[in-house]
A and B are shown apart, each in its own frame.
Chain A
Amino acid sequence: MSILDLFKRRTSAPVARERLQVLLAYERRSRAQPDLVSILREEIMAVIAKHVQIDQDYLQVSMDRGETMSTLEIDIQIPNKSPVPLAMAG
């Protein structure tokens, strides 16, 4: 490492450009189709509702987008004092 490198900091514009390219590629694709996360959220909610009664707020669905792969995070909280599973209650 030369002494000059100490003064060299990475410029921010290329980072901005790269982030925009990834983001916009995704946004353009999703513009054409309905919002995937809300569809998933609705369907997951319907599946759960068959067995346990939970409030909408107890289900969190989020998508973390990567360049080649995305992570879908589903967080379902079932309160303990919550009703007996519907299936058992019959």
Chain B
Amino acid sequence: MGKVVVVTSGKGGVGKTTSTAALGAAVAKTGKKVALVDFDVGLRNLDLIMGAERRVVFDLVNVIQGTAKLSQALIRDKRLETLYLLPASQTRDKDALTEEGVEEVIGRLRQVFDYVFCDSPAGIERGAQLAMRFADEAVIVTNPEVSSVRDSDRIIGLLDARTMRAEQGEHIAKHVLVTRYDAARAARGEMLSIDDVLEILSVPLIGIIPESQDVLRASNLGAPVTLSEPINAAAKAYLEAARRLEGEDLPVVVPFERKGFLDRLLGRRAA
């Protein structure tokens, strides 16, 4: 039985879709069978990030409504033969997903794949709750910034209350993935530190992804950043996070930036 991992955050634009693609490809690289499921109905983007937008024929809603078979809707990655994508539909009908339908699809994916990554829509409403509903584990994507941390805290509350596992009194493993981390700004005290974020959320850290042009470049090219060559800092951080997700005990090193000469001279700590 495969593991179902929801990639969630509450806040939009923090890097859920980027992280779903990067972590999924990283795990698939090791030979595990991986399915990425886009739950962002109406605003699908995972297909673009994966570079599969022109190959979408059927989607999650088609499968749930019975107009397509699961095997017809799954798109196999051109680069990794163990990586598949189940796109979201572009329908504006927010109720197109039913809980029973999602349960059925996730249940079947779980039988075939080693890992099922669910890319959650933003928010804390129905769509986000359905994406997490049948998850065994959660990756909570957080930017070191007040509104993102607050939303992550609410999502953690939902994970502990509204998931199937939680309702059955089982444990749902949670991991914080800090993304868009800017070491220079953290050093100057302009950004919440990793310690701050972890202390506030009290959920273990699975990785720190630096703010990086390479992430944008990868999405422009339609390839998960973990498949880019040569391996850049963001890709390396995602590859390590994926190893931790698979249970490896790999310490997280906080990216470090020395203060500039002028900063040190003036003892400046800009607000």
Contacts and interface: CB of A to CB of B under 8 A. Distances in A.
Tell me which of A4, A20, A21 has the highest count of chain B C-beta atoms within 10 A of its own C-beta.
A20
Interface string B152-188: 0110010000000000000000000000000000101
A4 B269 contact: no
B189 A20 contact: no
A21 B270 CA distance: 22
A8 B188 CA distance: 11
Given A13-B191, A13-B193, A24 B146 contact: no
Given A11-B188, A27-B153, A27-B154, A4 B271 contact: no
A25 B55 CA distance: 47
Contacts of A17: 192, 196, 200
B29 interface: no
A9 B263 CA distance: 12
A9 B153 contact: no
A20 B149 contact: yes
Interface residues of A, number: 19
A28 B150 CA distance: 11
B78 interface: no
B266 interface: yes
Interface in A2-28: 4, 7-14, 16-17, 19-21, 23-24, 27-28
A20 B150 contact: yes
Given A13-B190, A13-B191, A31-B157, A7 B267 contact: yes
Contacts of A9: 268-271
B11 to A, nearest CB: 14
A14 to B, nearest CB: 7
Tell me which of A12, A14, A21, A27 has the highest count of chain B C-beta atoms within 10 A of its own C-beta.
A12
A24 B146 CA distance: 11
A76 B142 CA distance: 41
Interface of A: 4, 7-14, 16-17, 19-21, 23-24, 27-28, 31
The 9 A-B residue pairs whose C-beta atoms are closest, nearest first, are: A11-B189, A7-B266, A17-B196, A9-B271, A11-B269, A13-B189, A12-B271, A16-B146, A24-B153
9 contacts: A7-B268, A8-B267, A10-B269, A10-B271, A12-B189, A12-B271, A13-B186, A17-B200, A20-B200
Interface of B: 145-146, 149-150, 153-154, 157, 186, 188-193, 196, 200, 266-271
